[in-house]
Amino acid sequence: MLSTTLLIAFAAGLLASLACGLGALPLLIKGIDPVKQRGLGYGFAGGLMFSASVYNLLLPALDLGDGGWSLGKVAPIIAGVLLGALFLQVAESMVHDTPEMPERWKRWGGRVGFLVFIAMTIHSIPEGVAVGVGYAADSQGAADGMGPTLALAIAIHNIPEGLAVAIPLRSAGASIVRCFLAAVATSLTQPLATIPAVLLAWFFDPLMPILMGFAAGAMIFLVILELIPEALETESPKRIAWAFTTGFCLMLMVQVVL
């Protein structure tokens, strides 16, 4: 029974990660040129990531468990946010101090693309854990259909998140295939995270608030530290503000539709 649940949860997580790659496909639309519109693309991606941090991570973390919001419930989330921001700062410092990247790495988005890759990969971990815990709860009779519901919701959310990953890469001249593969790669932690989550659901369930806070903190910090300043180098503040707001609203719309 446990092995069956494990396989199903892993397959669901894998399908959700593949959905992330679909986010690269809108960049095939004629008229969209992330190379020429890099600033707008970064602003739009920033809006997607910021919205995902709030609506896919922080608010669900606050709604975990019984009862309303309280200081005891928000404290581990805040701790996770601060730890995630600190982690991203350290990662950015390490990348910044690294000698000039080889030409082949520039085609994968350079410094900004690399940091987006790290942040989105981290963001996928608590989602994979949530799917694993959901399937474990279903198998134990503690819930009914929680695992498939979570996996489907995360798969749909992954599509615009994949777009956020693809934009910096496409802006650096990466092919759509490379953008697709990179977006999928950021989500491969989802099926991998389902395995320990199913086996040790009792251990990971209490850790979800801090894990979700950590992922949100890393993404928010990245948006403010890298994406918006990079965007403002080539576009006016008003155009970036509109691009950011549009990205934010798109992710919000996905959340409401679900």
Residue type, 19: A
- Residue 98, classed as helix, strand or coil, is coil
Condensed to tens digits (0 to 9), the pLDDT of residues 175-205 reads: 888 889 999 998 888 889 888 888 887 788 8
Q: How confident is the model at residue 220 (pLDDT cuts 50, 70, 90)?
A: very high
- Residue 185, classed as helix, strand or coil, is helix
Instruction: Give the Cα separation of 17 and 22 in Å (integer).
Output: 10
CB atoms within 10 A of CB 125: 18
Share of the chain above pLDDT 70, in %: 89
Q: Which residues contact 146 (CB under 8 A, 6 or more apart)?
A: 134, 135, 137, 138
Sign, CA torsion 88/63/186/107? negative
Residue found by looking up tokens 């910096």 in the block: 168
Condensed to tens digits (0 to 9), the pLDDT of residues 50-99 reads: 998 898 889 888 887 666 677 888 999 999 999 999 998 888 887 765 55
Structure tokens at 7: 């396989």
Do residues 80 and 213 lie in contact, with contact meaning Cβ atoms separated by under 8 Å? yes
Q: Which residues contact 105 (CB under 8 A, 6 or more apart)?
A: 114
Domain ranges, ordered by start, for the chain: 2-25+41-257
Angle among Cα 245, 252, 244 to the nearest 5 degrees reads 15
Condensed to tens digits (0 to 9), the pLDDT of residues 128-182 reads: 888 888 888 777 765 567 778 888 888 888 888 888 888 888 887 788 888 899 9
Q: Which residues contact 251 (CB under 8 A, 6 or more apart)?
A: 47, 48, 51, 52, 55, 56, 157, 160
- Position 106 scores a pLDDT of 60
- pLDDT higher than 70, residue 102: no
Q: How confident is the model at residue 115 (pLDDT cuts 50, 70, 90)?
A: confident
- pLDDT higher than 90, residue 221: yes
Instruction: Give the Cα separation of 42 and 246 in Å (integer).
Output: 12
